[in-house]
Amino acid sequence: MQPLAERLRPANFEEYIGQEHLVGKGAVLRKMIESGNISSFILWGPPGVGKTTLARIMAEKSGRGFYSLSAVNSSVKDVREVIDRADKSRFFQSPPPILFIDEIHRFSKSQQDSLLAAVEKGTVVLIGATTENPSFEVITPLLSRCQVYVLKSLDKTALLHLAEVALKKDIELKKRHVEIKETEALLQYSGGDARKLLNALELVVGTEGDGDIIITNDLVTDKLQENPAAYDKQGEMHYDIISAFIKSIRGSDPDAAVYWLARMIAGGEDPKFIARRLLISASEDIGLANPNALLLANSCFDAVNKIGFPEARIVLSETTIYLASSPKSNSAYLAIDSALEEVKKSANLSVPLQLRNAPTNLMRDMQYGKGYKYPHDFDENFVNQEYMPMELKNHKFWHPQSNQSESRLSEFLKKLWGK
């Protein structure tokens, strides 16, 4: 027997739950079907939100042929064979069939290249489905020929409606009297994924004995035995959570930072990846406001390499809290980027003669190094001389920010150089 999620797969827009911004009345995909003019597009969204179903409905409603490939187990040869079949199956004035490619982000560049000509010539209408950001995973020539539509995780209302539909309409579930008394565990487990919700519902009902079934949080938790975190180390969630983690540190919120750290740890993230990001944050966001942050982050990276999980979680937590609680400055980050922009603009400005290296007599005869004053020969190990190319004399790249550490550095430099 087919799984519950397959038995309940919608056959039309009326049965389709969620994504009203795409398939509701007057929405873009519904208009596309009503006009009969379907162009190639990519559906981007998390698992279990109806990408495959939507492609099938559009093919059915438009009366077009439908070919399907999974990028997981298809080769360039498979793609070309399907395109060839699609081309031969067309009559003179018939619209091009739909070629649906699930997990298109898993296609290599050569596999994606093999689609270009067929899409360009109108041999097929391509509908791709991906859980990854297409701008990272789909080649630019193919992406430029496809519109991208974003699908959202199903909200609480949509998921509960789906559960209600399943209990009322599914031929197997209707045989039992099932009441959903508590919903929190079901919703938490599903994480906005319709397939996960239906799988959980089917498992809970299927493993209970005869008689009425009252679904509670405890029953769901007991049957599922786990509540896996929605975290894909190779996927979009990976980038979203690390982004939230770094932004929480930058925003001086240690509690939020530790929460996102816990999400990564629970999801099985590589501790060295987290430690590397802490090193970057210590330089980029804290910098000269607290130079000790970089020392601690570096020690954290060493410790994580030595001990690994589970103990590494404590070191990561300590460093995360310290960085989030430190004063912030991005002056070093801004200074190097400003200098790089100047280098790009002014190219190879000459090094002043007094600063040049003079290892040979010829170079000394050419005045290399002449006039250089050795700072340690002067009081306070400082002498006022020019170190910039002449074209950039008095140019400032580093602008100290308002914090105790940089104020001390700024005052010291003012004492040496004057204003």
Domain limit, last residue, from 100, 121, 150:
150
41 falls in which pLDDT band (50, 70, 90)? very high
pLDDT per residue as tens digits for the range 324-362: 999 999 999 899 888 888 888 887 788 888 888 877 877
Residues 215 and 287 in one domain: no
Domain limit, last residue, from 224, 251, 276:
224
Residues 406 and 352 in one domain: yes
Measured torsion, CA atoms of residues 194, 198, 204, 209, in degrees rounded to the nearest 10? 170
Residues 72 and 130 in one domain: yes
Q: What is the pLDDT of residue 235?
A: 52
* Structural domain includes residue 165: yes
Residues 185 and 219 in one domain: yes
Residues 25 and 141 in one domain: yes
By three-state DSSP, how is residue 9 classified? coil
* Structural domain includes residue 14: no
* Cα–Cα distance measured from residue 202 to residue 194, given in angstroms and rounded to the nearest whole number: 12
User: Which CATH number covers residue 117?
Assistant: 3.40.50.300
* Cα–Cα distance measured from residue 241 to residue 238, given in angstroms and rounded to the nearest whole number: 6
Q: Say which residue the tokens 């990408």 belong to.
A: 51
CA distances from 123 to 98, 141, 272 (A): 9, 17, 47
Please give the full DSSP string across 39-67, using - where no structure is assigned.
--EEEE--TTSSHHHHHHHHHHHHT--EE
By three-state DSSP, how is residue 192 classified? coil
User: Which CATH number covers residue 249?
Assistant: 1.20.272.10
Contact predicate 346/363, CB 8 Å? no
By three-state DSSP, how is residue 198 classified? helix
pLDDT per residue as tens digits for the range 103-121: 888 888 888 888 888 898 8
Beta strand residue intervals within 169-237, DSSP E: 178-180, 213-215
CA distances from 375 to 36, 150, 288, 379, 395 (A): 79, 61, 24, 8, 21
* Structural domain includes residue 104: yes
Contacts 24+ apart (CB under 8 A), 65-70: 65/89, 65/90, 65/97, 65/98, 66/97, 66/98, 66/100, 67/97, 67/98, 67/99, 67/100, 67/124, 68/99, 68/100, 68/101, 68/102, 69/99, 69/100, 69/101, 69/102, 70/101, 70/102, 70/103
* Cβ within 8 Å of residue 378, ≥6 positions away: none
Q: Could you tell me which of 94, 25, 108 has the C-alpha nearest to residue 62?
A: 94
By three-state DSSP, how is residue 328 classified? coil
Residues 141 and 160 in one domain: no
pLDDT above 60: residue 68: yes
Residues 86 and 118 in one domain: yes
Q: Say which residue the tokens 């816990």 belong to.
A: 262
* Cα–Cα distance measured from residue 21 to residue 24, given in angstroms and rounded to the nearest whole number: 6
Q: Could you tell me which of 221, 146, 152 has the C-alpha nearest to residue 186?
A: 221
Q: What is the pLDDT of residue 257?
A: 92
Answer whether the bond into residue 310 is a cis peptide, omega within 30°: yes
Q: What is the pLDDT of residue 357?
A: 81
Give the number of other Cβ atoms within 10 Å of residue 90's Cβ: 16
Q: What is the pLDDT of residue 227?
A: 45
pTM above threshold 0.75: no
Question: Which residues span the domain enclosing 187?
Answer: 156-224
By three-state DSSP, how is residue 69 classified? strand
Contact predicate 398/331, CB 8 Å? yes
User: Which CATH number covers residue 194?
Assistant: 1.10.8.60
> DSSP label at 410?
H
Domain limit, last residue, from 325, 355, 372:
325
For residues 14 and 319, the model is more confident at: 319
320 falls in which pLDDT band (50, 70, 90)? very high
Domain count, the chain: 4
Q: What is the pLDDT of residue 236?
A: 52
Contact predicate 48/67, CB 8 Å? no
* Structural domain includes residue 338: no
Residues 145 and 23 in one domain: yes
Residues 138 and 47 in one domain: yes
Residues 137 and 215 in one domain: no
Contact predicate 291/322, CB 8 Å? no
Residues 49 and 122 in one domain: yes
pLDDT above 90: residue 285: yes
CA distances from 47 to 6, 22, 140, 202 (A): 15, 17, 24, 18
Residues 210 and 253 in one domain: no
* Structural domain includes residue 254: yes
204 falls in which pLDDT band (50, 70, 90)? confident
